[in-house]
């Protein structure tokens, strides 16, 4: 379980590159960028299928798995882009980023899972740290005029947390199925692009490399790693630790020279790290206790 949890957290680390690479990709409209990057993400899965042995349980995939996977990947991005079109980015992003907390709370409904106080408090600390990162310490100003956009952002949070939790109900379904979720998301995103956007392609080699990086990692390998994490890892710990994504993203931007370090970021770091350690308390200290028992 610990190894699968770490693999799942590697997805969070890759999502930290999303802001930097998206900014470096130029003026490509969201649905077109989604179509291109998920096509690359599909290629990641196809290469993995060639290099890895065929899973023993690669029979017929239940219909509900297809619905859950496509609704999770495409649905999240569709409603997120819709939210950004209809509400301020800060408020919409923060509402959408309620999904780690929903994963932690929703895990109590999963077979074999037990929700403890440290999972809840750890997730809330992570949410507080994310609030500092997203709002830049300036607070929020919810406006009724943007109610539709806020609602779309809330749908994002529900969709991604539901996708993550429901995927855990199908541990026997091989992770390679994510390949076809990415392919379906690419096709649906392209359809939305033709219906809603004007075509603007990357204007330079650097922008194309940024798009390639997006497709290989945050919109590619990350989804395969996340599938392993939510199916076989500690989902409460993974949910709470997911709040590290906006913090890591900000740190990447600081290192790249696009943001400045501040006490606010330090406070967010302490809140998110403390929350993740608290949520992982049983996982971290169980091994130590077990080792002490063996020595005794």
User: In this model, does residue 292 exceed pLDDT 60?
Assistant: no
Over residues 69-86, the pLDDT tens digits come to 999 999 999 999 999 999
User: In this model, does residue 60 exceed pLDDT 60?
Assistant: yes
The DSSP code for 16 is T
> At 205, is the secondary structure helix, strand, or coil?
helix
What pLDDT is stored for residue 295 in this prediction?
A: 43
Crossing angle of the two packed helices 281-295 and 117-135, in degrees rounded to 10: 130
What pLDDT is stored for residue 283 in this prediction?
A: 64
Domain ranges of the chain: 2-295
Average pLDDT of the segment spanning 179-206: 97
Helices (H), the chain: 2-15, 18-24, 30-51, 63-70, 76-86, 89-96, 99-106, 117-135, 147-167, 178-196, 205-216, 222-232, 235-241, 244-255, 263-279, 281-295
Over residues 148-162, the pLDDT tens digits come to 999 999 999 999 999
| Residue 223 token pair | 């989804």
**Contacts with 287 (C-beta within 8 Å, 6 or more apart), sequence order:** 2
């Amino acid at each position: 379980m610990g190894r699968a949890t770490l693999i799942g957290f590697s997805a969070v680390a890759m999502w930290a590159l999303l802001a930097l690479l998206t900014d470096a990709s130029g003026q490509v409209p969201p649905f077109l960028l989604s179509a291109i990057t998920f096509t690359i993400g599909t290629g990641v899965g196809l290469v993995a299928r060639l290099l890895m042995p065929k899973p023993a349980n690669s029979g017929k995939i239940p219909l509900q798995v297809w619905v859950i996977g496509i609704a999770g990947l495409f649905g999240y991005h569709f409603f997120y882009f819709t939210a950004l079109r209809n509400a301020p980015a800060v408020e919409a992003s923060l509402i959408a980023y309620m999904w780690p907390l929903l994963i932690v709370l929703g895990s109590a409904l999963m077979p074999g899972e037990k929700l403890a106080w440290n999972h809840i408090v750890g997730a809330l600390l992570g949410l507080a740290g994310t609030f500092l990162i997203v709002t830049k310490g300036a607070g929020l100003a919810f406006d009724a005029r943007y109610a539709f956009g806020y609602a779309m952002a809330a749908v994002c949070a529900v969709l991604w947390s539901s996708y993550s939790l429901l995927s855990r109900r199908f541990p026997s379904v091989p992770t390679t199925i994510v390949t076809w979720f990415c392919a379906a998301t690419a096709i649906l995103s392209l359809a939305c692009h033709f219906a809603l956007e004007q075509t603007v392609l990357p204007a330079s080699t650097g922008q194309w490399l940024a798009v390639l990086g997006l497709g290989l990692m945050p919109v590619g390998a990350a989804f395969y790693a996340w599938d392993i994490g939510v199916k076989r890892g500690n989902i409460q710990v993974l949910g709470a630790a997911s709040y590290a994504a906006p913090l890591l993203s900000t740190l990447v931007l600081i290192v790249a020279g696009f943001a400045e370090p501040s006490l606010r970021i330090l406070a967010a770091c302490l809140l998110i790290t403390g929350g993740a350690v608290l949520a992982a308390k049983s996982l971290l200290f169980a091994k130590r206790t077990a080792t002490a028992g063996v020595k005794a």
